[in-house]
Copies of this chain bind each other. A is one copy, B any other.
Amino acid sequence: MKLSTRTRYGIRALLELAENTGDSPLQIKVIGKKQDISIKYLEQLMSILKGGGFVRSLCGSKGGYLLAKEAKDIKLIDVFNCLEGPFVTVECLADKSLCSRTSDCVTRKVWFKVQKAVNEVLESMSLQDLVEQAKEQRELNYQI
């Protein structure tokens, strides 16, 4: 059970945008180079993120991407849902009718707990939190 590259790349790209203070947009190729992500692949991910309302784009020369809302308003759970689909450990959690033994299935309750634990972590974190952590980290590295 592993995370796909979509969410990982996506969040790293968003982080780049969040750290790109100033008015001028950031280009996919700049992000891709800095984060070592295939440009063409990142293109697709950015398109998904745009659909999710996390970023906005400017076409043409001098174009690129910008965050569509403030970093503090971008929760990681929402980005995850957008790029990876909702984290459901088993289908019957989303749709009870899928399994006849649902009503007294104890394993279902296990997966529910797992799912809840994951969602709570991602629900509690915003892109802004990551920006701040990254800043702290850099200061720490500088001191050394």
Contact surface of A with B, Cβ cutoff 8 Å: 1-4, 8, 11-12, 15, 76, 84-85, 87-91, 103-104, 106-107, 109-111, 113-114, 117-118, 120-122, 125, 130, 133-134, 137-138, 141
User: How many copies of the shown chain assemble into the complex?
Assistant: 2
A106 to chain B: which residues have CB within 8 Å? 15, 130, 133-134, 137
Q: For the complex, would chain A's binding face be called helix, strand, loop or mixed by DSSP majority?
A: helix
7 cross-chain CB contacts under 8 A: A1-B87, A1-B88, A2-B89, A8-B107, A11-B107, A110-B122, A113-B121
Contact A121 B130 (CB under 8 A): no
Contact B107 A130 (CB under 8 A): yes
Contact A137 B90 (CB under 8 A): no
